[in-house]
Structures are given as C-alpha cells and as structure tokens.
Amino acid sequence: MELLKSKRLLILTFFLLVFAAAYSQKKDDDRIYWNDRQKLIVDDFGIKTKNLESGATSADFAIDYDVSRFNFVSKNFNKNVRNYMVKSTSQIDTTGNVQQYLLYQQTLFDLSEVYARELRKALKENRKLLISGTKVADELNWKVMSEFLDRRSKYTQETNSASDPVKQKEWEDQIAYELNELKDYIYGK
C-alpha cells in the first residue's frame, strides 16, 4: 500500500513538473524580448489583419521587473528588468505599408528599451531604499513608464507613425544615442 502511494505521488509530481515547464515555455513563446541584433518581423505579430480592419498596427510592449527588499545589496539590476513585446496581442495589417508599420513598431520597441534601461539605472541608484520595501521600485517604475508613454505619444505625432522620413531619422538617431549612453544597463550585462 505504501509503495502504491509513493508511486502515485511520484507520478503526480512528474505531471506537475511537466505542466509547469510547458506553461512557462508557452508564456515565453508569446514574448519577443528586445534584442539589438533582431528586428521585428511580420511573424512576430500574433494578429494579422487586412484592409485596416482594426488599424494599421499596434503592439503591446511590456517592461516587467522582479525585485525584493533583499536586492539592496545588489549592484546590478540588469537581469531584474525585462523588455518585451507580447505576440498574441500585437497586430499588423499585412495589406498596407508593412515596412513602415514594422519600422514604427521597431522604433517604439527601441524607445521602450531606453526606458527599461532607465529603470535598471534608477533601481541601481536607489537600491539602498529597497531595504524598507519594494514600494520604491513601484514608484520608480511608474515614473519611468509615465515618461515612456509621453515620449511614445510625442514620437507618434512628430513622425506621423514613421511616415515622415526626416523626423523618423531624427528619432532613430536620438534613440540610438540614448541606448548607447545607457549601454551599462543592457539586460544581462
């Protein structure tokens, strides 16, 4: 009887581990993590539309972070903050100006990376405050995300969603400059 219980427990544990691994893999399969060597392509968008059914393009960019009050001893938060696009909720019209749509979303993704790096930097600079709790991390995140949303709106307006080549180039150059200035805060570095 005891052997039967042990086998059942072992089988149950095995299935739970397999399920957990499959679930976590599925979650990561739905994310495109920012990478300076990999540009967005049509297949990165989970929703493909035609004839502007729901607009030209939209993407869900997310910056998440994992910190605790014990991170105050950490000198590097580069692995604690991730920047990614959610594939399943991002859409692109495949009958329109696909190259412009991809350029627009890639520029937003790059801009999002600027603010992910800003958050990594802010967490590092304020790490001693984490000893009293993670509320400071939430406040820093809110501040950085507010700045990102304002800047995203400004970019969209100034470039008319990447359709003004002169303004687009100015934004690309500025974002590249900022990414370089924040190179010490690349994910994983």
Q: What's the pLDDT tens digit per position in 78-97? A: 788 999 999 999 999 999 99
Name the strand (E) or helix (H) holding 87: strand 81-93
Q: Across the chain, how many H-helices and E-strands are there? A: 4, 4
Two tokens at 48?
């493909």
Q: Which of 58, 145, 45, 134 is nearest to 87 (CA)?
A: 45
Q: Tens digit of pLDDT for each residue in 142-186?
A: 999 999 999 999 999 999 999 999 999 999 999 999 999 999 999
Name the strand (E) or helix (H) holding 84: strand 81-93
Q: Which of 60, 55, 63 is nearest to 44 (CA)?
A: 60
Q: Which of 74, 81, 106 is nearest to 92 (CA)?
A: 106
- 114 beta partners: none
pTM higher than 0.85, yes or no?
no
Is pLDDT above 90 for 102? yes
CA gap 88, 163 in Å, rounded: 25
Dmax (CA) for the chain in angstroms is 77
Q: Which residue do the tokens 């003004």 mark?
A: 164
pLDDT band at 42 (very low <50, low <70, confident <90, very high): very high
CA gap 77, 180 in Å, rounded: 18
**110 in Cβ contact with 180 (< 8 Å):** no
- Break the chain into its structural domains and give their ranges: 1-30, 34-185
